[in-house]
Structures are given as structure tokens and as C-alpha cells.
Amino acid sequence: MNIDVRIKRTDPVSGETQWQTFEYDALGKPSVAKILEEINLREQLTDKDGKAARRISWECSCLQGVCGACAMVIDGRPALACETFVDPSAQSEVSIEPLRKFHVVADLVVDRSVIDKTLLESEVYIKDYNESSPDEFAHRYQASKCLKCGLCLEVCPNWTGTGKFAGALFANDCYLVDSADSSTEIRDEFGKHFAAGCSKSLSCMKVCPMKIETIASIAKMNRRKKR
């Protein structure tokens, strides 16, 4: 079944953007990753109007929703391309664009280095290891699955990428440190870069591919702060 694939293209050299549509003959309900992969494999790449097109820049690695490489905006919703499926019997078009809050390198590839930069600036690591309580196991396990994909930042009403507020993934990583550290330094960083800035919209939790309960990290950090 045919479907139109509309992609927001950004030229890596000029930075110019434009929407470009490709026709795609879908078998079953392919994932967006599968569609991008197959379009790029074509012998000659032409768009719907028959014009020669650049190959599409996009990132993937695991193709099973566990590495976060393929985060993008699909039909207006931020998601992982390898686990977002398109049903051609229900839609005649799918639109794909890069995450909007990060600098676009090319097409669907964005620069997410701000994530590591923030964690480094706040020295988010265990200063002095202290075995965490068994009660923390389940949440530590879940929080450790954070992909650093950036989806939580993309949907957050408070995260801008330039301000002090560091977003949900920061809160989860602070919790992971604090729950296994006898030093309490990380609590100040949490205070400075998260506590005051979060308006608890919790859109981060809805979008998180790993279903991390950031609210639990926040609550645990707040409780610890008071100790």
C-alpha cells in the first residue's frame, strides 16, 4: 500500500530547510526506521516529483528501542523511529522531522551533546560509593535504563537547552548517584538545576520510551534533601 513520506530536510552545508515527499510502498505496518532505511537503499533517490534527492541523514543503532539513537518527531509527536509503526490503511501520509529543541546537524540528525555537557558540569557521578538499600533496587534498575535520547527534554515545557533547568534525565541521574553515594554534594546540583524549575507537567514520563517514573526520582530526591 502506498504512503507519502514527508520529511523535513536540512542541508548540512547551507543549513537551508525544506519539506520533501517520497512515495513508499508499505508492506504491513512498517516502523518509521524501516521506511527511512528502505528509501535510502534505493538505486536512485528521487522525490515524489521525480527530482533527484540527497540521501536522508538519520541515526540508528539497535533497531529495537533500547539505544535512543533514532529519536525524532513523527506526525508531530516526539518518538523513537524504530518503535513507531505506520499503518497505511489508516493514514496516507507520515511526516517526519528532527527533534525541535536541539541544533539540527542534517535532516533528522540533531546535536544532543548538551546532555553530556550538563551532566559533566554538575559532576553527576558517585563521589564515595555506599551500597544502596534493597528498597531502591526496582527504581534504580528502571532509572538506569535512561537512553539519553532527549525525548523528555523535547516535550518539557521548562527545558530550553540554554537555561539552568536540566530536565527529567538530570533528575533521574541525580537520584542514581544520590542513592549510592555517601557524599551529598549532588543534592545541591539537583536543587540548582532541577527542583525549582520543574512545574510537574510530567510530559517527560508520558514520552519516556523506558517508562522511567521521574516523579519517583523527584520525590526521593526531595525527601533525601530534607535529611
Partner 1 sequence: MKVLIVGTGISGLSAAVALASRGEDVIMISPFPSERAQSVMAAGGINAVDEESEDSFEAHIGDTLKGGRFIAGKEAVKGLCEAAPSVIRELEQMGTVFARDENGKIRRRAFGGQSFDRTCYSGTSTGKQIVTALRRELRRYESQGKAEIRLGTDFHSALIEDGRCYGILAYDERYASLAPIYADAVIIASGGQNALYGKTTGSTACDGYTAGRLFMQGAVLKNPEFVQFHPTTYVTPQKNMLISEAARGEGGRLFYVKDSKRVYFMEDLFGPKGNLMPRDVVSRSIFNTGEKVFLDVSFLGGKKIRERMLETYELCMKYGGLDITEEPIPVTPSVHFFMGGLAVDNGHMTNIDGLYAAGECASIYHGANRLGGNSMLAAFYGGKVAAGSIIEREEKREAPLFDGFIRDQEKAFNKILSSSGRKPVTDIRSKLAQAMKGSMGIIRNGKDLEDGINVLDGLIGQVREDEFDSSLLPYFTYSTEAIVVLGKAAMTAALARTESRGAHQRSEYKEEKDEFCAATLISYDGGRLSVSYDKEGRYEH
Which residues form the interface with partner 1 (CB under 8 A)?
A: 12, 27-28, 30-31, 33-34, 40-45, 52, 54-55, 57, 59-69, 82-83, 105, 113, 116, 119-120, 123-126, 129, 131-132, 134, 137, 140-141, 144-149, 173, 176-177, 180
CB of 68 to ligand FES, least distance (A): 5
CA-closest candidate to residue 148, choices 182, 114, 123, 100? 114
Which residues of 11-49 form beta strands (DSSP E)? 17-25
Q: Interacting stretch for ligand FES, rule CB under 6 A, among 38-46, 49-57, 60-68, 175-183?
A: 60-68
Sole binder of ligand FES in the list 37, 48, 60, 75 (CB under 6 A)? 60
User: How is residue 154 written as a grid cell?
Assistant: 523535547
Residue 218 in contact with ligand FES, rule: CB under 6 A = no
CA distances from 168 to 8, 155, 165, 175 (A): 27, 10, 9, 11
What are the angstrom distances between the C-alpha of 29 and each of 1, 72, 139, 170, 173? Answer: 10, 19, 34, 35, 35
Question: Which 66-85 positions form the footprint of ligand FES (CB under 6 A)?
Answer: 66-70, 80, 82
Nearest to 153 by CA among 90, 73, 94: 73
Based on the shown chain and the rule CB under 6 A, indicate whether residue 138 belongs to the binding site for ligand FES.
Answer: no
Rounded CA-CA distance 26/168 in Å is 36
Are 184 and 110 in contact by the 8 Å Cβ rule? The answer is no
Residue placing its CB nearer to ligand FES in the complex, 168 or 198? 168
- Least Å distance, CB 103 to partner 1, is 11
* Alpha-carbon gap, residue 21 to 135, rounded angstroms: 51
Total of chain residues touching ligand FES, rule CB under 6 A: 12
Taking the complex as a whole, the smallest distance from the CB of residue 85 to ligand FES amounts, in Å, to 13
Q: Which residue in 11, 42, 54, 62 binds ligand FES (CB under 6 A)? A: 62
- Binding footprint of ligand FES on the chain (CB under 6 A): 60-63, 65-70, 80, 82
